[in-house]
Amino acid sequence: MSNDNFTGTYKMWMFIDPRRALLFIASFQILLGILIHMIVLGSDLNWHSDGIPKFYFPNAAEASAPIDMSPIPSARNFKFD
């Protein structure tokens, strides 16, 4: 494949200022991201108020229950015969 297809590509950057183009692209992406987040937060897809994941706050009875603190879980205490 020859480079003949791209011989005049550099002339595009003589017509378009690269600093302004990159600044425009970055600002557009940031504004688009903010706009999409605001639209989603204002709709049924709001992830702040859907209750997922369900947060667990134990009550006093569950907090005082004994906890198994063995170094190896019981499922791994398999003895080979």
DSSP track, the chain:
--GGGGTTGGGHHHHS-HHHHHHHHHHHHHHHHHHHHHHHHTSTT-SSSS--SPP----HHHHTS-----SS-GGG-----
Q: Is 50 known as a binding-site position?
A: yes
Q: What is the DSSP letter of 55?
A: P
Is 67 known to sit in a ligand binding site?
no
Q: What is the pTM of this model?
A: 0.48
pLDDT band at 46 (very low <50, low <70, confident <90, very high): confident
Query: pLDDT value at position 31?
Result: 98
What pLDDT is stored for residue 54 in this prediction?
61
What is the pLDDT at residue 50? 67
Q: What is the mean pLDDT of residues 31-44?
A: 90
Is it the case that residue 14 has pLDDT exceeding 70?
yes
Query: At a CB cut-off of 8 Å and minimum separation 6, what does 76 contact?
Result: none
- Is 4 one of the annotated binding-site residues? no
Choose between 15 and 25: higher pLDDT.
Answer: 25
